[in-house]
Each structure stands twice: as structure tokens, then as C-alpha cells.
């Protein structure tokens, strides 16, 4: 079953059917999330209204790390098993991952200015997140610079896998080093250190970011498949 | 209403964050349409 959909031929139409569903789901979740974030969640006692930035900052930061691991996972699968779709999947993920990384940095900076009094500090959390952005951009640039797609997939996979060590560094940086950035407020093992409505807003926004990512990545994957397999008979039939 | 948009004096930071998010999403969606 899994292997059946692991080929571009079978995945292409399936992805096409999934995109509108995930896109609609993302829109509904984002609207619900924004409603909770702005109209339900109370004003924070210490940070005032500025804290409402976290409803976009935290989901963006989660996605930036998670998408990198998924991208590296697909790239590694392609490297190990030589599956055609894997490298395309990794390429499809990279721009969305870079977008969320940029948003995490941008919103973090806009949150830091009123709360910490500075746009930027070179502390472990912020620096490792910036490195993540460079890893995404490096991955995209490296793949774009190599003509042969098979060689591009291989070179990209090595970069993606080596760079994956940065993700646990980002995640644990607030514990390993003394940083300005606060520790995690949401954890699976203990109750969250924030109001329930704040948590609900954040989770809704995180789910919106997830479903949005799936829709956008599948759409980009279809573009990449169309490009790479343009000489294949099956694609001509699928497009007809 | 204007109180809502003022965000307790943090309008620049809050709307700067959400505005950039919206812009990024629009750019990504438009780039995929082509």
C-alpha cells in the first residue's frame, strides 16, 4: 500500500485530490485560531497584548523544526533506497520550511523588542534558528545549482542529513545554555504554564500551520513531478 | 474597534507579525499558481 503510492504516477493524482481538503481545513483552523487568539484569550498579565505574537511565533517555530526533520527524512530515504519520489518530496518541503523559519525569526524579533528591549541577541536559541534558515537556503541553492536531478538529490540529502543535528540543538538550547529565550511553555509531561484558552489558540494555529503545510507542499510536489517527469508517458495521460 | 487595533500600544509589533505571516503565505500561494 505504502509502496504503491511511493511512485510519482500514483501519487500525482492522489496529491491533487488531497490539496483542496487540506487547504480548506487550514483556512477553517486558522480562522478559529485567530478568533481564539484575538477575541477569547485574555490579555497577559506581564506582557500585555504583545504576547499575542506567540500564537503565530510558536507554531511557526514548531513547523520550522518539524519540516526540517521530515525533509531530512525524505532526503535520507532517497539516498538509501533510491526512490524517485523522495528527493522531490524533500525539494517540495524546503521552501515552506524556510518560510516558517523566517517567520519564527521575524515574529520573535517583533516580540523581543517590546519584551526584552532588543530586536536580536546572539543567544543559543536565536542563533541556532538562524542557522536553520541558512540550512534551508543552502539546501535549496545546492539543489538548484546541480543540473542532474539524481546528483542534486544526493548532494542535497547529505547536506540535509548533516544539518539535522541542528534541530535538537535548537530544541534543547534553552536547557543546555543560559539563554534569554524562555523555556518551553507546552510539554507533554507536565501541565502547561499558561491559560487554557491561550493553549487552545496556540494548538489551533499549530494545526492550521500543519494542514497549510501539507496542502502547499503537495501542490509544490505536483509542480516538481510535472517538471521532472515531463517526458514520461504516464504524465501526458494524467494531464490529458 | 480602534482599541482592538491599537493592541494596548503594541500595534506595530502584533500587526507587524501577523502582517508578515499573511504576506509570506500570499507570496507562497501566488508562486505556486504559476
For an interface test with B, the pick among A37, A48, A49, A103 (most B C-beta atoms closer than 10 Å) comes out as A49
Report the alpha-carbon distance of residue B7 to residue A49 in Å, rounded: 6
Mark yes or no for CB contact A49/B10 under 8 Å.
Answer: yes
Q: Which value does ipTM take for this structure?
A: 0.94
Residues A88, A86: Cα–Cα separation, whole Å: 5
Rounded Cα distance between B31 and A223, Å, is: 11
* Strongest mean pLDDT among A48-52, A78-82, A198-202, B16-20: B16-20
Q: Among B2, B14, B27, B32, which would you mutate to test the A interface (most chain A Cβ atoms within 10 Å of its Cβ)?
A: B14
Task: Please determine, for residue A188, whether its predicted confidence score (pLDDT) is greater than 80.
Answer: no
Q: Let me know: does A26 contact A215? Beta carbons within 8 Å.
A: yes
For position A2, what pLDDT does the model report? 53
Question: Does A190 score more than 80 pLDDT?
Answer: no
Partner-chain residue, chosen from B16, B24, B32, that has the shortest CB–CB distance to A110: B16
Contact A8, A84 (CB under 8 A): yes
In this structure, the number of other CB atoms found within 10 A of the CB of residue A159 comes to 17
Average per-residue pLDDT for chain A: 91
- B33 burial via Cβ count (<10 Å: 0-12, 13-18, 19+): exposed
What pLDDT shows up at residue A193?
Answer: 65
- Closest-CA distance of chain A to residue B22, Å: 10
Cβ within 8 Å of residue A88, ≥6 positions away = A8, A221, A224, A225, A228
d(C-alpha A71, C-alpha A67), whole Å: 6
Q: What is the pLDDT of residue A9?
A: 84
pLDDT, greater one: A104 or A182: A104
pLDDT in tens, chain B (34 residues): 788 888 888 999 999 999 999 999 999 999 998 7
Rounded to 10 deg, the angle between the A149-163 and A84-116 helix axes is 40
Q: Which are the contacts of A76, defined by CB distance < 8 A and separation ≥ 6?
A: A157, A160, A161
Which chain B residue has its CA at the smallest distance from A213's CA? B25
Contact at 8 Å (CB) between A98 and A136? yes
- pLDDT confidence of residue B8: 86
Return the domain boundaries, chain A: 16-182+193-239
- Residue A186, by phi and psi: left (phi above 0), alpha (psi -120 to 50) or beta? beta
Name the residue facing B14 among A53, A60, A220 (closest C-beta). A53
Amino acid at each position: 500500500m505504502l509502496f504503491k503510492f511511493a511512485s510519482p504516477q500514483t501519487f500525482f493524482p492522489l496529491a491533487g485530490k488531497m490539496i483542496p481538503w487540506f487547504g480548506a481545513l487550514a483556512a477553517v483552523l486558522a480562522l478559529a485560531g485567530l478568533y481564539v487568539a484575538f477575541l477569547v484569550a485574555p490579555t497577559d498579565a506581564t506582557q500585555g497584548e504583545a504576547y499575542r505574537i506567540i500564537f503565530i511565533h510558536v507554531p511557526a517555530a514548531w513547523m520550522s523544526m518539524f519540516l526540517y526533520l521530515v525533509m531530512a527524512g525524505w532526503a535520507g530515504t532517497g539516498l538509501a533506497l533510491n526512490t524517485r519520489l523522495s528527493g522531490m518530496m524533500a525539494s517540495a518541503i524546503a521552501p515552506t520550511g524556510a518560510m516558517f523559519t523566517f517567520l519564527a525569526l521575524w515574529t520573535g524579533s517583533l516580540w523581543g523588542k517590546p519584551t526584552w528591549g532588543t530586536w536580536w541577541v546572539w543567544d543559543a536559541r536565536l542563533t541556532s534558528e538562524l542557522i536553520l534558515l541558512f540550512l534551508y537556503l543552502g539546501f535549496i541553492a545546492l539543489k538548484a545549482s546541480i543540473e542532474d536531478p539524481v546528483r542534486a538529490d544526493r548532494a542535497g540529502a547529505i547536506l540535509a542529513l548533516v544539518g539535522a543535528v541542528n534541530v535538537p540543538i535548537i530544541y534543547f538550547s534553552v536547557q543546555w545554555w543560559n539563554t534569554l529565550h524562555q523555556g518551553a511553555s507546552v510539554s507533554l509531561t507536565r501541565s502547561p504554564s499558561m491559560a487554557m484558552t491561550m493553549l487552545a489558540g496556540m494548538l489551533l494555529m499549530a494545526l492550521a500551520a500543519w494542514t497549510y503545510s501539507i496542502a502547499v507542499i503537495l501542490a509544490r510536489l505536483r509542480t516538481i513531478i510535472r517538471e521532472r517527469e515531463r517526458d514520461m508517458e504516464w504524465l501526458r495521460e494524467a494531464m490529458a | 474597534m480602534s482599541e482592538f487595533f491599537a493592541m494596548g500600544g503594541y500595534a506595530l509589533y502584533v500587526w507587524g507579525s501577523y502582517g508578515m505571516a499573511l504576506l509570506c503565505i500570499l507570496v507562497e500561494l501566488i508562486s505556486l499558481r504559476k
